């Protein structure tokens, strides 16, 4: 057990911490002015940007979101009407007033094709033999932890990450945590419901990583007590190192450390009260609707906190809520959008406001999409069924050009009426955000599977 009762033992702590967190001493790095979102790892072909991938599991409708098609016949056009946006001549579905007012801050793609109507998680993990969480591809080069802050570089957050009463992660449609060909060391890190680390971490993370993190958490507790008692005699660089370790990793997962006004600005839980009065539990997925409303805002806030402290890729999802068949499991489209859209509208709008206020618009790319779209024609129950020929896609930040609509759909909103944007284009866009691709291609250790993710053209116009 490490002791922190002397300057020498503090140095030992920093040495051990440096080894566990990537081989660099925090004191040295921070003394040179290092900070998680502004310093890429020395010698690695990564940028100073991060990606938050908000996955709308279940397949949201392209028509009720960002392409309402109000000139189409009844039964095709948006069942929730339309709203004018900040962009002249552009309308969104009628349940997105806050995003409509911020349409000049992001890009909507109206020609995005996922390729099939299967329930899976293909935008997050790709397809084929190299299927893996995109963050695992990033971590295979960036390393499992950030060398300055010690933050896991690849994280996945689910409703239980912020609410212990929420439903557990759904695993029936694909493994969000799969590192694929990039190895167990690149598996996403999953924060638990209390803001510490998930109790079943042993299911997801190699034993060596668990041991390292448990050692660090124990060391944090010991160091804090010693630092509080003897901190006055510690030099500035070492004080910054302690602060980064104790505050960055230990507090990043704890929303109680955030400004209460910011938490309130993100919080979507009050929206649950708005629809609880007329909420019908007859659909088997009703618990997921509740989780979406209660947790989505806090999950996006948690994601922002993580990337601000050094995580490079964060997957966010509230489980399976966007399937709107109008059957025993899922609400019809009008009701389902009434349950789900207000939280999405509020949470993404709060995120856009927050990253602008914090000067992070160019540093964080937000990607929002599902695994497919919905049929152009509403079924007899008032729902829309699976559709792989067109799906909604929103991108914001990360240095992209905001305030535009890329591509167009046909008259019924079922297929592209311009060059389609496909999954390889989206994945390549993510990879070009995270990597200096020119350097990546000549980097020893960059696998063929990773390089293949950069082969397609990034989304043109971004």
Comparing 254 with 334, which gets the higher pLDDT? 334
Confidence band (pLDDT; 50, 70, 90) for 37?
low
- Mean pLDDT over the full length of the chain: 84
pLDDT at 42: 64
CA–CA distance, 257 with 262 (Å, rounded to integer) = 11
CA–CA distance, 3 with 459 (Å, rounded to integer) = 53
SS3 345: helix
Cα–chain center distance at 338:
23
412-450 per-residue burial string, b: 16 or more CB within 10 A, e: under 16:
bbbebeeebbbbbbbbbbbbbbbbebeebeebeebeebb
Q: Convert the pLDDT of each residue in 3-35 to its tens digit.
A: 333 444 444 444 434 433 433 344 444 444 444
CA–CA distance, 274 with 252 (Å, rounded to integer) = 30
CA–CA distance, 291 with 159 (Å, rounded to integer) = 6
Q: What is the DSSP letter of 355?
A: H
Residue 245 has pLDDT above 80, yes or no: no
Residue 210 has pLDDT above 70, yes or no: no
Characterize the bridge pairing of strands 404-406 and 313-317: unpaired
Comparing 251 with 125, which gets the higher pLDDT? 125
Q: Convert the pLDDT of each residue in 53-90 to its tens digit.
A: 999 999 999 999 999 999 999 999 999 999 999 999 99
Distances (CA, A) of 316 to 72, 88, 103, 283, 313: 34, 31, 22, 24, 10
Mean pLDDT is lowest, of 33-47, 344-358, 446-460, for 33-47
Do the beta carbons of residue 2 and residue 13 sit within 8 Å? Answer: yes
Crossing angle for the helix pair 269-276 and 286-308, nearest 10 degrees?
Answer: 160
Q: Convert the pLDDT of each residue in 159-189 to its tens digit.
A: 999 999 999 888 778 889 999 999 988 999 9
CA–CA distance, 453 with 418 (Å, rounded to integer) = 23
Q: Convert the pLDDT of each residue in 377-411 to its tens digit.
A: 999 999 999 999 999 999 999 999 999 999 999 99
pLDDT at 151: 86
Residue 248 has pLDDT above 60, yes or no: no
Q: Which domains does the chain have, with CATH numbers?
A: 1-33+206-252 (no CATH), 49-196+256-452 (3.40.720)
Q: How many CB atoms lie within 10 A of CB 128?
A: 10
Please give the model's pTM, rounded to 2 decimal places.
0.84
């Amino acid at each position: 057990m490490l002791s922190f009762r002397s300057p020498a033992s503090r140095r030992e702590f920093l040495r051990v911490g440096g080894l566990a967190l990537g081989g660099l001493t925090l004191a040295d790095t921070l003394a040179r002015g290092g900070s998680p979102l502004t310093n890429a790892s020395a010698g690695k072909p990564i940028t100073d940007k991060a990606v938050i991938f908000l996955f709308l599991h279940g397949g949201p409708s392209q028509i009720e979101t960002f392409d309402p098609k109000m000139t189409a016949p009844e039964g095709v056009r948006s069942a929730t009407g339309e709203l004018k946006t900040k962009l002249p001549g552009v309308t969104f579905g009628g349940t997105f007033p806050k995003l409509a007012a911020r349409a000049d801050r992001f890009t909507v793609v109206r020609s995005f094709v996922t390729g099939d109507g299967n329930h899976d998680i293909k935008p997050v993990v790709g397809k084929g033999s190299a299927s893996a969480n995109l963050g695992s591809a990033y971590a295979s080069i960036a390393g499992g932890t950030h060398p300055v802050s010690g933050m896991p570089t690849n994280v996945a957050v689910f409703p239980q990450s912020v609410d212990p009463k929420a439903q557990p992660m759904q695993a029936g449609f694909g493994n969000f945590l799969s590192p694929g060909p990039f190895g167990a060391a690149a598996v996403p890190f999953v924060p638990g419901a209390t803001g510490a680390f998930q109790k079943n971490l042993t299911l997801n993370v190699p034993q060596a990583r668990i041991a390292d993190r448990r050692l660090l958490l124990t060391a944090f507790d010991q160091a804090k007590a010693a630092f509080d008692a003897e901190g006055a005699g510690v030099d500035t660089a070492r004080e910054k190192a302690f602060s980064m370790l104790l505050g960055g990793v230990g507090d990043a997962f704890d929303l109680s450390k955030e400004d209460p006004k910011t938490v309130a600005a993100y919080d979507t839980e009050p929206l649950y009260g708005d629809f609880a009065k007329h909420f019908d539990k007859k659909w088997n997925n009703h618990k997921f609707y509740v989780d979406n409303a209660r947790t989505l805002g806090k999950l996006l806030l948690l994601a922002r906190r993580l990337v601000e402290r050094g995580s490079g890729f964060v997957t966010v999802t509230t489980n399976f809520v966007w399937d709107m068949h109008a059957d025993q499991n899922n609400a019809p489209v009008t009701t389902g959008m009434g349950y789900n859209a207000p939280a999405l509208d509020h949470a993404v709008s709060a995120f856009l406001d927050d990253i602008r206020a914090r000067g992070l618009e160019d540093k964080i790319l937000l990607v929002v999409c599902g695994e497919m779209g919905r049929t152009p024609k509403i079924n007899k129950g008032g729902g829309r069924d699976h559709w792989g020929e067109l799906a909604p896609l929103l991108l914001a930040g990360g240095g992209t050009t905001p305030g535009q609509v890329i591509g167009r759909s046909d008259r019924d909103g079922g297929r592209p009426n311009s060059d389609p944007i496909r999954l390889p284009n989206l994945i390549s866009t993510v990879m070009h955000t995270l990597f200096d691709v020119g350097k990546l291609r000549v980097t020893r250790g960059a696998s063929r599977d990773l390089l293949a993710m950069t082969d397609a053209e990034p989304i043109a116009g971004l």
